[in-house]
Amino acid sequence: MPKYEFVAVDFDGTLCADAFPEVGAPNRAVIAYVKKLAADGSKIILYTNRENGTRKLLDEAVAFCKAQEIPLYAVNENPGNPHAAKIGLKPSDGRKVYADLYIDDKAINPVEIERTAEYTRPGAFAPPPEAAAADDRWQEIMKRAEQCGFIIYAAAGTAILATNRVQASTMGATRYADNQRMNGRCPQEIGLPGCLDSYTGKPGCAGDRCELWKRRADHADT
């Protein structure tokens, strides 16, 4: 675990479930993490929007931390801020509490944003040569998938495939038969009595007037 001198920790939604203005249930995982940081030498600062008004909301948060045995170095300030004096301020001055680490349910690390942006930028990554060689087999693979009746959708190098078992169990007989016809398979080849009429829902077969029927292996010589 990295070493941090000052750790600023949010309260609602972080140390406890967000039930503001009530104090939510303790977030055991976060509390354990913060206590581990404190045990390793970090100074824990409670950093919260809670204030004491007609109801002592901030005092309730501090009491929660005490009950959870979270040692607090400070609350909404950093008396040890080493940078304040450089710009003519007291350590307690300034709107933002200085810390080396901020733990907050509403925070996101800009490094993660930058990393995601780099990986998702079009053209940011070129596939290795072996991947390009595999792409050359796309037509071969799609032809095999069509023969097996796996294709649900295919266009421009993108395809959705599913096994016959999955198709039959999720689509029902009519849609399954239609999908197999799209794959170029006669429904009679896959155990159905024939193509299903879209109006009546009843099976029927046009026999040698149907190109799918004529392309069946067992009719190739007739």
Q: In the chain, where are the structural domains located?
A: 6-113, 129-219
Residue 47 has pLDDT above 60, yes or no: yes
Q: What is the pLDDT of residue 190?
A: 66
Paired with 19 in beta bridges are 22
Look at 84 and 199; give whichever has higher pLDDT: 84
Query: Would you put residue 25 in left (φ > 0), alpha (ψ -120 to 50) or beta?
Result: beta
Residue 219 has pLDDT above 70, yes or no: no
Contact 68, 32 (CB under 8 A): no
Q: Where are the alpha helices (DSSP H) in the chain?
A: 28-39, 57-67, 110-120, 129-135, 138-148, 164-182, 211-215
**pLDDT tier at 133 (50, 70, 90 boundaries)?**
confident
pLDDT, mean of residues 161-171: 89
* pTM as predicted: 0.55
142 phi, psi to nearest 5 deg: -70, -35
**Token representation of residue 212:** 């799918």
CATH classification code of 6-113? 3.40.50.1000
